[in-house]
Amino acid sequence: MSKPIQAIRGMNDCLPAETAQWQQVEAIIRQTVASYGYSEIRFPIVEFTDLFKRSVGEVTDIVEKEMYTFEDRNGDSLSLRPEGTAVCVRAANQGALLYNQQQRLWYMGPMFRHERPQKGRYRQFHQFGVESYGFESADMDAEVIILSARLWKAFGITEHVRLEINSLGSNEARADYSAALVEYLKEHEAQLDEDSKRRLTTNPLRILDSKNPDVQAVLTDAPKLSEHLDQESIEHFEQLKQRLDAAGIEYVVNEKLVRGLDYYNRTVFEWITESLGSQGTVLAGGRYDGLVEQLGGKATPAVGFAMGIERFVLLLQTLNILTEPTSTADVYIVAAGQGTELKAVEIAEMLRDSAPEIRVVTHSGGGNFKKQMKRADKVGAAVALILGEQELENQQVNIKFLRQQAEQETISWSDIAERVRSAIAE
C-alpha cells in the first residue's frame, strides 16, 4: 500500500465532532454581531501582495517572514491573505461603501501565515473580525470593545479574559516617540538582543513588547509613549476609558502594548487569557484612521478587531464550555421485508416535507432487523420508525422509543409527523 498523503503542517482538518463545536461558536458570533447592527462582508482569500505591503507594513513580521506569496501564471505577485483588515478596506473602498458613509461590517474566514506551528498557532487559522468605518470619536472604539465583551458574556467566560488597552497617539506623536525611543536605546545598544537591534532601524516600537527580560530591563527607564501623546489623542483615550467604565468593562492600561501591524493609531487593545499558555491573545484590534487613504481611498476613520477562532475554541474546550454532539439523527427508519425499502424512502421524504426541522435518516445497505436497530442506536436517534410487511399492508409504521421508557406504538402514515414531533419534544 502506498503511504497516505498528509495535510500540510499547521493546516488542520476540522472533523465532524469539532465542526459541531465551531458551529456553536459561529452561531453566537452571528447572533452577537447582528445584535449590534453589523453586516457581513465576504472577500477573496488571495490578493495582490502589494495590498499587504502597503497596509500591514513592509518591515512587519507578517510581511517579512510569514506570508504565502507566489507568482501566478500572469507573473503577478499574489499572497494568501494573512489578515482581514487590509482586505476589508480594499473591498469596502472598491465597493464604494466608505466615502461620506458609516459602516459596521464583520467577516469570518481562513487566514494564512507561515509561522512555527504550535498550540494556538497555525499556518491556516481562522479569524472573526469587525471593522467600523466613518466614526471618529471614541464611542466606536468603545462599541467594538463592548461587542467583544458580549461574546465572553455569551459563553460565560468573562472571568477568564482580561482587557489591555493603550493609545499610540497620532502618527506624528508616534513618530516623535519612536525617535525618542531609538535615541535612548542606541545608548544601550550593547544590552539589546539581535532582534531588537534590527528593529531599531525597522520597527522600533515593536521592541517594547520583546519577551526578552534583558531587553525589558533596558526599557524600564526608556521614555514613555504616554509622555509623547498629542492632546487630542489623550482626550480620545480618556473618552474611551470613561465609556468602558460606564459599561462596567474592566481594563488595564498597558503602555507597552503596540501591536505588530503598522496601520494602527490611537486606540489599540487586546483580550488576553492565562488559560492557553504563551499563545494567550484571543482578540486584538484598534483604530487605523490612516489606512483607507494609504490604500488609495478618501480619508476615512476606522476601528476594528480580529479574533482567532482556534484560540477561542481551545479556550472554550479547556473550560469545558462546548458540548459534544451526541446524535446526528432524530428519526431512524428501519425497513424489513418485501417492498418495504422503497416505501421507507417515500415515508422519509414525506416526513421531511412536513417537518423539515427533524433529522431523518433512512437505513441504507440492507441487513436484518437487528442490524438496522443497532445503527439506529449508533446515530443516536430518539425514535425508530419500523416498517415491516404487515405495516406496509396496513399503511402504518411502528414507532419505537429509543431514549425513553415507553411502549412501542403503531401509527398510521398520516400521523407520523405529529407523533414524531411530540416524541422528540419530550
The residues of the shown chain that bind ligand ATP, judged by CB under 6 A, are 83, 113, 115, 121-122, 125, 127, 260, 279, 281-284, 306, 308, 310-311
Q: How far is the CB of 258 from ligand ATP (least distance, A)?
A: 10
Residue 156 Rama label (left phi>0; alpha psi -120 to 50; beta): left
Convert 290-327 into a string of H (helix), E (strand) and C (coil): CHHHHCCCCCCCEEEEEEEHHHHHHHHHHCCCCCCCCC
Residue 258 or 334: the one with the smaller Cβ distance to ligand ATP is 258
Tell me if 359 sits within 8 A of 328, measured CB to CB. Answer: yes
Q: How far is the CB of 276 from ligand ATP (least distance, A)?
A: 9
Q: How far is the CB of 6 from ligand ATP (least distance, A)?
A: 19
Residue 110 or 380: the one with the smaller Cβ distance to ligand ATP is 110
Residue 134 or 260: the one with the smaller Cβ distance to ligand ATP is 260
Tell me if 336 sits within 8 A of 115, measured CB to CB. Answer: no
Q: How far is the CB of 378 from ligand ATP (least distance, A)?
A: 35
Q: How far is the CB of 117 from ligand ATP (least distance, A)?
A: 8
Residue 168 or 397: the one with the smaller Cβ distance to ligand ATP is 168
Task: Give the span between the Cα atoms of 374 and 125, in whole angstroms.
Answer: 38
Q: Give residue 360's Cα distance to chain centre.
A: 31
Residue 290 or 388: the one with the smaller Cβ distance to ligand ATP is 290
Convert 19-67 into a string of H (helix), E (strand) and C (coil): HHHHHHHHHHHHHHHHHCCCEECCCCCEEEHHHHHHHCCCCCHHHHHHC
Angle at CA 309, nearest 5°, toward 306 and 313? 145
Tell me if 222 sits within 8 A of 181, measured CB to CB. Answer: yes
Contacts from 64-70 at CB under 8 Å and sequence distance 24+?
Answer: 65/114, 66/113, 66/114, 66/115, 67/112, 67/113, 67/114, 68/112, 68/113, 68/114
Residue 118 or 354: the one with the smaller Cβ distance to ligand ATP is 118
Q: How far is the CB of 362 from ligand ATP (least distance, A)?
A: 40
Residue with smallest beta-carbon separation from ligand ATP = 308
Q: In what order do the strands lie in the sheet with 46-48?
A: 46-48, 77-80, 69-71
As a whole number of Å, the end-to-end CA separation of the chain is: 50
Which residue in 181, 172, 82 sits closest to 126, CA to CA? 82
Kind of pairing, strands 383-388 and 331-336? parallel
Residue 126 or 174: the one with the smaller Cβ distance to ligand ATP is 126
Residue 14 buriedness (CB in 10 A; 0-12 / 13-18 / 19+): middle
Beta strands in 193-264 (DSSP E): 252-253
Tell me if 63 sits within 8 A of 53, measured CB to CB. Answer: yes
Residue 249 or 284: the one with the smaller Cβ distance to ligand ATP is 284
Give DSSP secondary structure letters for 131-160.
EEES--SHHHHHHHHHHHHHHHHHHT-GGG
Q: How far is the CB of 345 from ligand ATP (least distance, A)?
A: 44
Residue 115 or 409: the one with the smaller Cβ distance to ligand ATP is 115
Residue type, 182: V
Residue 279 or 294: the one with the smaller Cβ distance to ligand ATP is 279
Residue 288 or 332: the one with the smaller Cβ distance to ligand ATP is 288
Task: Give the span between the Cα atoms of 346 and 340, in whole angstroms.
Answer: 10
Q: How far is the CB of 172 from ligand ATP (least distance, A)?
A: 24
